[in-house]
Amino acid sequence: MLKKILIANRGEIALRIIRACRELGIETVAVYSEADEQSLHVQLADGAICIGPGPSGESYLRPERIIAAAEIADVDAIHPGYGFLAEDDDFAEQCEECKIKFIGPRSETIALMGNKARARETVKAAGVPTVPGSAGAVEDPAEAVKIAEQIGFPVIIKAVAGGGGRGMRLAHNAVSFQKEFNAASNEALKAFGDGSVYVEKYIEEPRHIEFQILADEHGNVIHLGERDCSVQRRHQKVIEEAPSPFLTPELREKMGKAAVAAAEACNYWNAGTIEFLVDKHRNFYFIEMNTRIQVEHPVTEEVTGIDLIKQQLRIAAGEKLQFKQDDIKIKAHAIEIRVCAEDPARNFAPSPGEITLYYPPGGHGVRVDSHVYGGYHIPPYYDSMISKVVAYGPNREIALDRAYRALSEYLIRGIKTNISFCRAILRDPVFVEQGATTRFIEDFFKRAPKDLFEKPEEPKES
Ligand code: MV4
């Protein structure tokens, strides 16, 4: 087993990794920015090294500083968490060159799956259904129009170096296509330094359903079922659950096999996620693979009973998977709410500052993964997520009721949060009865009580 690892992250995921290490007897070293001196991950790790000023471009996003800290601390491995450098193939390669184990797949695998057009072609060759579209990137606008016409409008133009919804453009006909194609390419060049784009048939009102996989360095691959992540706002997930209320047992089995085939096609190891879109006829299509542990991994942990971070550590230590596919049973229903320091009345603008009072929920069937506490100052530099409330139980109804109850007892003062907004979603009849498509939040805004996300009227002078 690994003896000592460095955690190249902050916030709740840094704590989550420290906890898994404690249980496995692995020593931990935290890195932190000057804005995170008072953070729990710094206090709870066995050691901590400051790597620079608050802005992440001067600290958590600096490979050379993190590798220097790893060498000083003399660790066996680096856990990147999610975000920051977790899917940076250059960083993974530098770790490999320095003989520090990167807790993730090989750098070449990260690079392959980071190229969204190559990823599509790779899994397609292995028989995994992909969205009808261009074979790889398309350079020439004239050729791209021809491809779009063959596929049939509407089509979506995506950045090869993108992912997660950044740099996507929709086109409804050949005339608008030219404009959108150029816009997508220019945006991609600005955002990623690579203007290549590819084209896909636009799937209307899909569900976003992703499969968790685990793969070891000996070629064993299993899946741990799906998470339904259709409740998103501006490509940010808000609520995730497992199992998906939309999948049948037959479809789950087919998609699970496709997910395993996708991972095998790139000689994958580590925990990973295969993202699919599912249309209203229950056709499914691979869209992307994520080569990291994800924010919403606890949902899978609560329905399978498997600690995914420990699995990552065991895999990185070279162990074989302890489970076969038949050992994996979905034993519960779980739902996660991402609690964010943001103000729904100001278009969900970040709301950093001091938490003056903090009382998190608990009780039967409730797990809270968070790094905040009463008196904690939320720095302005990072993601606004401050906590994940995971509620679980024997079925969806009980899990949803527990989630609602948990949010009702969550007390956070001093900053604004999205808690009331999420409570309203949990009681929305469409969400409760049918589950969500990716259009859910847009439609929900139209029917939800306005006081959830609009500024209250100034009281009138009388
Ligand atoms: C699509 C799509 C429709 N058709 N691709 C957005 C995030 C990125 N991972 C892929 N995304 C989409 N790709 C085709 N061919 C619709 C979306 C999409 C979406 C997907 C998942 C969750 C929320 C979404 C919101 C808008 C668009």
- Amino acid of residue 8: A
**Best of 116, 205, 277 for a ligand 1 pocket test (most atoms within 8 Å of beta carbon):** 277
Whether 452 maps to a domain, the answer reads: no
CA of 371 to the centre of ligand 1 (A): 30
Sequential pLDDT tens for the chain (462 residues): 999 999 999 999 999 999 999 999 999 999 999 999 999 999 999 999 999 999 999 999 999 999 999 999 999 999 999 999 999 999 999 999 999 999 999 999 999 999 999 999 999 999 999 999 999 999 999 999 999 999 999 999 999 999 877 779 999 999 999 999 999 999 999 999 999 999 999 999 999 999 999 999 999 999 999 999 999 999 999 999 999 999 999 999 999 999 999 999 999 999 999 999 999 999 999 999 999 999 999 999 999 999 999 999 999 999 999 999 999 999 999 999 999 999 999 999 999 999 999 999 999 999 999 999 999 999 999 999 999 999 999 999 999 999 999 999 999 999 999 999 999 999 999 999 999 999 999 999 999 988 888 776 555 555
The amino acid at residue 65 is R
Query: What are the strands, taking DSSP E only, across 34-186?
Result: 47-52, 77-79, 101-102, 155-159, 169-171
User: Is residue 275 within a helix (H) or strand (E), and if so which, with residue range?
Assistant: strand 270-278
261 shares a domain with 386: yes
Number of domains in the chain: 3
Question: Largest Cα–Cα distance of the chain, in whole Å?
Answer: 76
Which one of the listed residues 292, 314, 402, 405 is annotated catalytic? 292
Q: How far is CA 297 from CA 13, 34, 76, 421, in A?
A: 10, 29, 24, 22
Number of H helices and number of E strands within the chain?
15, 22
The Cα 263–Cα 275 span in angstroms is 12
pLDDT at 459: 57
pLDDT of residue 32: 98
Cβ 387 under 6 angstroms from ligand 1: no
Q: Does the CB atom of residue 131 touch ligand 1 within 6 A? A: yes
Residues 341, 377: contact at Cβ < 8 Å? no
CA–CA dist 68, 52 (Å, integer): 12
Taking the CA of residue 133 as reference, the ligand 1 atom at the shortest distance is 15
**Which residues neighbour 9 within 8 Å (Cβ) at sequence distance 6 or greater?**
17, 41, 60, 79, 80, 81, 82, 83, 84, 86
Q: How far is the CA of 160 from the centre of ligand 1 (A)?
A: 14
CB atoms within 10 A of CB 429: 8
Beta-bridge partner residues of 170: 156
Q: C-alpha angle 352/358/363, rounded to 5°? A: 130
Contact predicate 155/177, CB 8 Å: yes
Measured from the CB, is residue 133 less than 6 Å from ligand 1? no
Q: How far is the CA of 171 from the centre of ligand 1 (A)?
A: 14
Let me know if residue 391 belongs to a domain: yes
Nearest CA to ligand 1 atom 25: 438
Which residue's structure tokens are 């096999």? 257
Question: Any idea what the CATH number is for the domain that residue 165 is in?
Answer: 3.30.1490.20
- Identify whether residues 224 and 197 lie together within a single domain: no
d(CA 46, CA 50): 14
Q: Give catalytic status of residue 292 as yes or no.
A: yes
**How many Å apart are CA 401 and CA 429, to the nearest integer?**
13
Task: Give 403 Cα–ligand 1 centroid separation in angstroms.
Answer: 26
Same domain, 196 and 277: no
One domain for residues 194 and 240 = no
User: Which residue type sits at 261?
Assistant: A
Q: Indicate whether residue 235 lines ligand 1 (CB < 6 A).
A: yes
- Are residue 262 and residue 372 in the same domain, yes or no? yes
> Ligand 1 centroid to 129 CA: how many Å?
16
171 and 240 belong to one structural domain: no
Terminal Cα-to-Cα distance of the chain (whole angstroms): 72
Q: Does 193 share its domain with 45?
A: no
**194 and 218 assigned to the same domain:** no
* Claim to verify: residue 175 and residue 211 sit in the same structural domain: no
The domain in which residue 406 lies consists of 207-447
Residues 175 and 276 occupy one common structural domain: no
Q: Record the tokens describing residue 17, joined without a space.
A: 């990794």
3-state SS, residue 386: strand
Q: Say whether both 139 and 245 belong to one domain.
A: no
Q: Which of 131, 151, 156, 230 to mutate to test the pocket of ligand 1 (most atoms within 8 A of CB)?
A: 156
Asked if residue 255 lies in contact with residue 284, where contact means CB atoms within 8 angstroms, the answer is yes
Choose among 13, 80, 19, 63: nearest CA to 44: 19
Reference 74, options 47, 97, 96; nearest CA is 47
CB 172 near ligand 1, within 6 Å = no
From the list 414, 415, 426, the residue with the least C-alpha distance to 384 is: 415
Q: Measured in whole angstroms, how far is the alpha carbon of residue 177 from the centre of its chain? A: 30
* Nearest atom in ligand 1 to 131's CA: 15
Hunting for tokens 């008072």 — which residue is that? 38
> Is the CB–ligand 1 distance for residue 238 below 6 Å?
no
Asked if residue 48 and residue 186 are part of one domain, the reply reads: no
Q: How many whole angstroms from 65 Cα to the centroid of ligand 1? A: 35
Report the residue among 130, 151, 158, 168 best suited for mutation to probe ligand 1: largest number of ligand atoms under 8 A from its CB. Answer: 168
Give the whole-angstrom CA distance, residue 35 versus residue 49: 13
User: Does residue 202 have its Cβ closer than 6 Å to ligand 1?
Assistant: yes
Contact 231 CB / ligand 1 (< 6 Å): no
Q: Which tokens is 295 given?
A: 């924010």
Query: Strands 101-102, 155-159: parallel, antiparallel or unpaired by DSSP?
Result: unpaired
CATH number at residue 344: 3.30.470.20
Residue 269 has what pLDDT? Answer: 98
Domain presence at residue 403: yes
